[in-house]
């Protein structure tokens, strides 16, 4: 047996933090974008969705250029004394970037389903954009936002290519389960790879079941109080 469970904690921590970041950024961006139209915003959409279509290694490489010592963002972080590359935050950045498009797409679809007159009615009643967002958009788009969050979490949990490029494989610091599996196979340790795979499947299933029962409980209580 192996005693080092650090890839589990690193994977979970990375996925949770990355999903939280993605959720806030993705939903906010989607709400901001949903109220605008024009070709400039279509270009924005293209850039926002790029991580979905690019191979993760390319995303990782671009992130490396951005966050590297000589990259524009890397220099910025260096000024506050932080080296991003090959650190735990790098795993979060990689996971957040690759899962962002999924959150953004699902959130936009969910938000566009909210009847525009409802938002306008709220505005005529004196509501600020923040209040419109919090009291009208989020509750009415909740099922779609939840779906986006699940997808993002799953994507973040499975992230490999970009993480390896940006964060490397440092056991105990940046080695997530997918990395651990890859390097176990590479080292010929099939037993270890299988165990990690089983753990990964277990985590994914647990998350999915948890969310499934939570949404069922939600809609059941809604049916009880609001009959629908």
Q: Kindly state whether residue 218 participates in binding another protein, applying the rule CB under 8 A.
A: no
Q: How far is the CB of 15 from another protein (least distance, A)?
A: 30
- Residues 56-115 binding another protein (CB under 8 A) are 115
Two tokens, residue 117: 């007159």
CA-to-CA distance for 217 and 176, rounded, in angstroms?
A: 32
Two tokens, residue 96: 């957040």
Q: Kindly state whether residue 38 participates in binding another protein, applying the rule CB under 8 A.
A: no
Say how many residues touch another protein, by CB under 8 A: 20
Q: Kindly state whether residue 146 participates in binding another protein, applying the rule CB under 8 A.
A: no
Which span (153-161, 169-177, 178-186, 220-228) binds another protein, by CB under 8 A? 220-228
Nearer to another protein, 117 or 188 (CB): 117
Helix boundaries (H) for 54-189: 56-67, 72-79, 88-112, 116-124, 129-131, 138-157, 161-167, 177-186
Residue 187 φ then ψ, to 5°:
-85, 0
Q: Kindly state whether residue 227 participates in binding another protein, applying the rule CB under 8 A.
A: yes
- Asked if 196 and 184 count as a contact pair (C-beta separation under 8 A), the reply is yes
Which span (27-35, 79-87, 135-143, 205-213) binds another protein, by CB under 8 A? 135-143
Dihedral sign of CA atoms 33, 55, 175, 211 in order: positive
- Single out the residue of 82, 118, 198, 205 in contact with another protein (rule: CB under 8 A): 118
Nearer to another protein, 123 or 192 (CB): 123
Kindly write down the DSSP assignment for every residue of 8-72, as one continuous string.
Answer: HHHHHHHHHHHHHHHHHHHHHHHHHHHT--SHHHHHHHHHHHHHHHS-HHHHHHHHHHHHSTTSH
Q: Kindly state whether residue 134 participates in binding another protein, applying the rule CB under 8 A.
A: no
- Single out the residue of 13, 49, 50, 140 in contact with another protein (rule: CB under 8 A): 140
CB atoms closer than 10 angstroms to residue 82: 12
- Single out the residue of 38, 81, 117, 188 in contact with another protein (rule: CB under 8 A): 117
- Single out the residue of 122, 145, 166, 184 in contact with another protein (rule: CB under 8 A): 122
CA-to-CA distance for 197 and 206, rounded, in angstroms?
A: 14
Q: How far is the CB of 120 from another protein (least distance, A)?
A: 5
Nearer to another protein, 69 or 131 (CB): 131
Return residues touching another protein (CB under 8 A): 115, 117-118, 120-128, 131, 135-136, 139-140, 226-228
């Amino acid at each position: 047996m192996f005693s080092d469970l650090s890839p589990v904690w690193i994977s979970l921590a990375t996925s949770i933090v990355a999903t939280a970041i993605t959720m806030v950024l993705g939903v906010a961006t989607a709400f901001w974008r949903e109220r605008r139209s024009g070709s400039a915003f279509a270009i924005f959409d293209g850039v926002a969705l790029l991580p979905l279509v690019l191979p993760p290694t390319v995303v990782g490489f671009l992130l490396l250029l951005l966050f590297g010592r000589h990259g524009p963002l890397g220099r910025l972080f260096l000024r506050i004394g932080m080296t991003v590359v090959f650190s735990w935050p790098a795993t979060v950045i990689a996971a957040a970037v690759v899962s962002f498009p999924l959150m953004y797409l699902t959130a936009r679809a969910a938000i566009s389903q909210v009847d525009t007159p409802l938002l306008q009615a709220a505005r005529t009643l004196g509501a600020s954009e923040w209040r419109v967002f919090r009291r009208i958009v989020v509750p009415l788009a909740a099922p779609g936002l939840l779906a986006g969050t699940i997808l993002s979490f799953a994507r973040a949990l499975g992230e490999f290519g970009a993480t390896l490029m940006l964060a490397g494989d440092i056991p105990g610091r940046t080695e997530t389960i997918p990395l651990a599996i890859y390097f176990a196979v590479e080292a010929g340790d099939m037993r270890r790879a299988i165990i990690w795979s089983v753990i990964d499947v277990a985590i994914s299933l647990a998350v999915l079941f948890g969310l499934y029962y939570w949404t069922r409980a939600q809609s059941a209580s809604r049916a009880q109080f609001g009959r629908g």
